[in-house]
Amino acid sequence: MASSVLFVSNTSSYGVTRVGVVGAGQLARMMGEASHEVGVSITVLAASINDPAVATCDHVVLGEARDRAAIEQLSGAVDVITFDHELVDLEHLAQMEARGVPVRPSAAALRFAVDKAYQRQALGAAGLPVPRFLVVRSSDDPRVPAFLEELDGSAVLKAARGGYDGRGVLFANTRDEAVTMIDELAVTGEVLIEEKLNLRSEVAQLVARAVDGSVMLYPLVTTVQSQGMCVEVRYPAQAPTHLVREASNLTMRIASLIDAVGILAIEYFITDAGMVVNEVALRPHNSGHWTIEGAQTSQFANHLLAVSGQALGDTAPTTGYAVMVNLVGGERTSSLRAALDVPGAYVHDYGKSWRPGRKLGHVTALSDDARSAHVTAWESARAYGTQTQET
Ligand code: ADP
């Protein structure tokens, strides 16, 4: 794409911190919705005028996230840069930081989210619980046969870079299958081979971290996954107290190790052997969408408070129970109206065009009763025509 164009200016930004967001998907859209309550303005770097965040931001720069000229233009228009996704050019971001451009989280911190191989190596080296793993460039690596033997062929293969929502993650049952999958993924770069764990459940925790290193933890939640995609999030997590405590300790250790500013989201596996770290994201996360209605300060507001150098907001929940269900395009066109008609359902539409299998929005329900939050959220999701299935 040729050089980017600054083309929309919805409001004046006088006296507020100007935050530039690389990417204009649903996370940037929800940052836009939270921006005025925390006194910042948002300029997004959007690949298309139809991107979800264009509707809620103050200004738009049109361009690709990996186009250096576009990022430079964004940086010239704002006080600080942050991110909607991790498909970014770390080398360029590091150069910008060296020139004094505030990039939050920093390029060094972002590497944890951009590169799954680096993430496993760094967390493992710090003594954090991660699955047994090996990083290779091809199945010809001499260490591969012994490692697959150790795993008895039951391996998970992950592209080190570029995957999301289960894309770039393959499950092998035999050694031959694993070898084929390694070669399939190796065309994209390094491949992470890891043991397939027997999961009791999956949980996630968000933490907001300010410029001065102070942190605010959100409570642990259960995430229900299907085919690598998150279907439902439940607050509070369905986990025993000792694991909730263990997760908090791990989350605090990871936040200080990564040294990021903004929201960090840590996904954990609960296994028979205890908690294992799955993934770290350095941005608002699907597991925290419920905080828009369910917490004193949403993850989006806290991300913006952090990256704009302000004090963090209170992360305490405002509800006994919250259930969030993702709205994914089904076989027939979705019905936003029908979803909104369900009393007690907070429906968020991301302004994307309908396509089967596409994440189009989410719905949250709050209650003092776990069952009723679940029933309301799913009633609205079904009325919408979501492809996601209740479990
Ligand atoms: P993505 O980055 O695309 O979200 P993840 O690495 O989080 O991919 O993997 C997607 C899902 O695959 C996880 O939520 C989990 O359900 C399953 N999974 C990933 N790694 C393992 C593993 N080592 N053992 C068992 N299941 C796994």
The CATH code of the domain that includes 23 is 3.40.50.20
Q: 228 and 253 share a domain?
A: yes
Give domain status of residue 390, yes or no. Answer: no
Instruction: Name the domain boundary from 152, 172, 195.
Output: 195
Give domain status of residue 136, yes or no. Answer: yes
**Which tokens in the block code for residue 45?**
């770097």
| Alpha-carbon gap, residue 344 to 40, rounded angstroms | 30
Lateral strand order in the sheet of 17-22: 5-9, 59-62, 40-46, 17-22, 80-83
> Domain of 141: which CATH number?
3.30.1490.20
Instruction: Name the domain boundary from 177, 195, 213.
Output: 195
Ligand 1 within 6 A of CB of 113: no
Dist. CA 195 → ligand 1 center (Å): 11
Ligand 1 within 6 A of CB of 196: yes
Instruction: Name the domain boundary from 88, 103, 118.
Output: 103
| Alpha-carbon gap, residue 43 to 207, rounded angstroms | 24
Q: 302 and 375 share a domain?
A: yes
Ligand 1 within 6 A of CB of 86: no
pLDDT of residue 1: 40
Please say whether the beta carbons of 178 and 148 come within 8 A: yes
Q: For residue 195, which atom of ligand 1 is closest to its CA?
A: 23
pLDDT of residue 15: 66
Q: 309 and 377 share a domain?
A: yes
Query: What is the chain's Cα-based Rg?
Result: 21
Q: Could you tell me how many residues make up the chain?
A: 391
Structural domain boundaries enclosing 76: 6-103
pTM for the complete prediction? 0.95
Q: 169 and 212 share a domain?
A: no
pLDDT of residue 2: 40
Q: 83 and 58 share a domain?
A: yes
Q: 152 and 205 share a domain?
A: no
| Alpha-carbon gap, residue 14 to 43, rounded angstroms | 14
What CA–CA distances, in Å, run from 4 to 46, 48, 72? 10, 11, 10
Please say whether the beta carbons of 91 and 103 come within 8 A: no
DSSP 98-163: HTT--BSS-HHHHHHHH-HHHHHHHHHHTT-----EEEESSTT-TTHHHHHHHHTT-EEEEESSS-
Q: 232 and 204 share a domain?
A: yes
Ligand 1 within 6 A of CB of 199: yes
Dist. CA 222 → ligand 1 center (Å): 15
pLDDT of residue 258: 98
Q: 336 and 203 share a domain?
A: yes
**Whether the bond into 142 is cis, omega within 30 of 0:** no
Residue tagged 């080296």 (tokens): 125
Give, for 360, the enclosing helix (H) or strand (E).
strand 359-367
Give domain status of residue 169, yes or no. Answer: yes
Give domain status of residue 116, yes or no. Answer: no
| Alpha-carbon gap, residue 325 to 363, rounded angstroms | 5
| Alpha-carbon gap, residue 79 to 94, rounded angstroms | 16
Return per-residue pLDDT of the chain as tens, 391 residues: 444 455 455 555 556 899 999 999 999 999 999 999 999 999 999 999 999 999 999 999 999 999 999 999 999 999 999 999 999 999 999 999 999 999 999 999 999 999 999 999 999 999 999 999 999 999 999 999 999 999 998 999 999 998 776 778 999 999 999 999 999 999 989 999 999 999 999 999 999 999 999 999 999 999 999 988 899 999 999 999 999 999 999 999 999 999 999 999 999 999 999 999 999 999 999 999 999 999 999 999 999 999 999 999 999 999 999 999 999 999 989 899 999 999 999 999 999 999 999 999 999 999 999 999 999 999 999 999 999 998 8
Give domain status of residue 290, yes or no. Answer: yes
Dist. CA 263 → ligand 1 center (Å): 21
Ligand 1 within 6 A of CB of 278: yes
Q: 47 and 15 share a domain?
A: yes
pLDDT of residue 322: 98
Q: 205 and 186 share a domain?
A: no
Q: 235 and 319 share a domain?
A: yes
> Domain of 338: which CATH number?
3.30.470.20
Residue tagged 């102070």 (tokens): 214
Ligand 1 within 6 A of CB of 202: yes
DSSP 303-355: HHHHHTTPPPPP--BSSSEEEEEEEE--SS---HHHHHTSTT-EEEE--PPP-
Q: 291 and 216 share a domain?
A: yes
Overall number of domains in the chain = 3
